[in-house]
Structure 1
Amino acid sequence: MAEETMQAKNRAVLEGAVLVARETEAAAVLLAAAVPEAADFLRRELGRGHRVLAARTDAGRAPGDGEIVVLPQVRLRRRGRAKIALLEALAAGQLRPGERVVIISGNGGNGDGELDTVAVVDLVHEEELLDGEADAPLTTLAHATDPAAFDALLNLCVELGHEGREGKRVGLLATLGDHEAVLAHSHPIVLNPFEGHPEDERCILNAPARRALREFSGMDGAFVVREDGVVLAGGRYLEDVSPDAEVPSGLGARHRAAAGVTAATHCIA
């Protein structure tokens, strides 16, 4: 590890995080910042008593990397990077509902450079960090979907929100998992553009399907995706199922529809 090149401030933050992880008996430490030498420091100081997860945008692995959480290749603010890293780790089974996690993040649009924040997140009591709502069904992430499908869909949504389509910002409403219940709670408002195509051409793990979703992102209605990543339908109107809690201020009809169908079924929208 290139400790001699580590900034004094970063070292101080990491030493503080190690102390916090030990004192709070955290199960894991999540490094949500692009400071490569920091992960090595944490693994050495914490030993085998704590899992260390490092979030980064590069999916490539090298010997000794340990557990990594791959993030979308877009610039994210500190909170957004931490939230997506938590979701990815939960979906992949690297973190589990009920665990306590220490999150280390930094300033800058992509959380790189300087570390400045250490937060303790209890995944029993602080689900609002993820979606603004307490008592969110985090267990759904681990049981309702395939981690690779969740990762592919989340990445696509983040990229669309950041880059848009043809230079214009667009939104995308998609459900993942429990497709039979979702179809029962919805009806078509346009012809289904995915009907009749082979499943491998409709699987979001493959680039052609992701490109198709991007092209159809301006379509009214929701996309219904099976738990393994196969897109079953587009242009579905979701029934007005009221979510269990109020949708946070500033969010719109799509967010309310997503919250409602997630509450009414075992999908993730």
Structure 2
Amino acid sequence: MKYQKLSSQFTEFLKLAIRMLEIAEADAVLIFVDGQPEWEKLKAVADNHKVIVAADREEFLEGIEDTGLHGVVVELEESPILEKLMHALVEAVANDQLSTGAKVVALYSGFDEERIDTISFIRLDERLGRLTSRDLRKLETSVPLETLKIVVDLAVEIGREGREGKPVGTCFVVGDHRKVLSNSAPSGFDPLKGYAKKDRHIGDRSVRENLKEIAQLDGAFVVNADGTVEAAGRMLDVTSASVTLSKGLGARHWAAAAISKKTKAISIAVSESNGTVRLFQGGEVVLRIEPSRRAMKWKDLDFDNIQSAND
């Protein structure tokens, strides 16, 4: 077992984080650790404030349930620290440990892997609505990045806004469209049938608004890699026997996972219950986006975009 002692520097940074929490009236302190902390000492410094401890390994959080602190397992050991941090925040929201509008003081090893050396103040309603192009670029797919961005934006809008005050769940399957069509069937009337290609391209805002209306119907959208919507209301005819997903996900997510494993497509499912958007590739969830009150912002992830205090 690897341990992370509460060194004098760690202690001083934690005290400063607690003070920042009080001054800014933040909701919690998030600490990203690289070993199992000294729980009793950590709890003593936390002094009944809400503290969430994140780690790459579940074993680093052993014993946390006896402290009153909260734990989040990230399992991204080879990823950059800011990617881990954002993932930890998303997990905390999914676990109902934080609200989507929470303010968090984050404490982590930003420059020196051997010690805690960075403090950041993060507003979740801003950060959770901000993806980086790197998040999509790292997916090994022939689908152009711009096409994925537009479809993800549209899915997030549907998840956030619903339609006429009601939540809406839907699914987009992007790329490898011929194979996707051969592994699906029409659920009934296709409202896009007969329209010219230019009138079915998701680059057009009016087309996207029409798709929001159609999203209320059963079935998935099949999107060509070039951004043309080839069909709507398709029932995905694939088995999910070889797919493993988290408990609580419904038939839409299982079908999205299964079609992404059967084909080279990227599938994007919008949860009707909470608006969460999940991207599937190879039968697995590769990216999850929580709903936000604000529109998505695509930008490069950079230390300059987080307010940091370094030793």
* Cα distance change on mapping 1:114 and 1:73 into 2, 3 Å: same
Match for residue 52 of structure 1? 51
Cα offset, 1:82, TM superposition = 1.6
Report if aligned partners of 1:35, 1:113 keep a CA contact under 8 Å in 2: no
Which residue of structure 1 lines up, in the alignment, with residue 221 of structure 2? Answer: 187
**What SS does the corresponding residue of 1:72 show, helix, strand or coil?**
coil
In the TM superposition, 1:2-17 aligns within 5 A as 5-17=5-17
- Provide the rounded CA distance (Å) in 2 between the counterparts of 1:84 and 1:159: 15
Worse-superposed segment, 37-46 or 183-192: 183-192
Is 2:135 the counterpart of 1:129? no
2:245 aligned residue:
204
Counterparts of 1:213 and 1:102 in 2: how far apart (Å)?
A: 40
Alignment of 1:158-237 (within 5 A): 161=138, 178-180=168-170, 184-185=214-215, 187-189=221-223, 194-197=236-239, 204-205=245-246, 215=261, 218-219=264-265, 222-224=267-269, 226=271
Partners of 1:73 and 1:4 in 2: CA distance: 18
Structure 2 residue runs of 5 or longer lacking an equivalent are 160-167, 173-210, 225-230, 248-253, 282-293, 302-311
TM-superposed deviation, 1:16 = 1.7
Choose between structure 1 and 2: higher strand proportion. Answer: 2
Instruction: Note closer, same or farther for the CA distance 1:180–1:224 as it changes in structure 2 (3 Å cut).
Output: closer
Choose 1 or 2 for highest CA Rg: 2
How many residue pairs match? The answer is 203
Distance 1:75 1:116, change over 3 A: same
CA distance in 2, matches of 1:100, 1:130: 12
Asked whether the 8 Å contact 1:31–1:39 carries over to 2, the reply is no
- Separation (CA, whole Å) in 2 of partners of 1:90 and 1:73: 18
TM-score by length of 2: 0.48
> Which amino acid letter does the alignment assign opposite residue 222 of structure 1?
S
Structure 1 counterpart of 2:37, which letter? E
Flag the structure with higher helix content: 1
- Larger relative CO (CA 8 A, sep 6+): 1 or 2? 2
Equivalent in the alignment of 2:81: 78
Give the drift of 1:250. 6.9
Aligned 8 A contact 2:17 2:105 in 1: yes
Distance 1:88 1:99 in 2: 13
Aligned equivalents of 2:41, 2:34: Cα separation in 1? 14
Q: Alignment partner of 2:221: what SS?
A: strand
Once the two structures are aligned, what percentage of the paired residues are identical? 18
Unaligned runs of 5+ in 1: 134-156, 235-243, 252-269
CA distance in 2, matches of 1:4, 1:81: 18
Partner of 2:308: none
TM-score calculated relative to the size of structure 1: 0.54
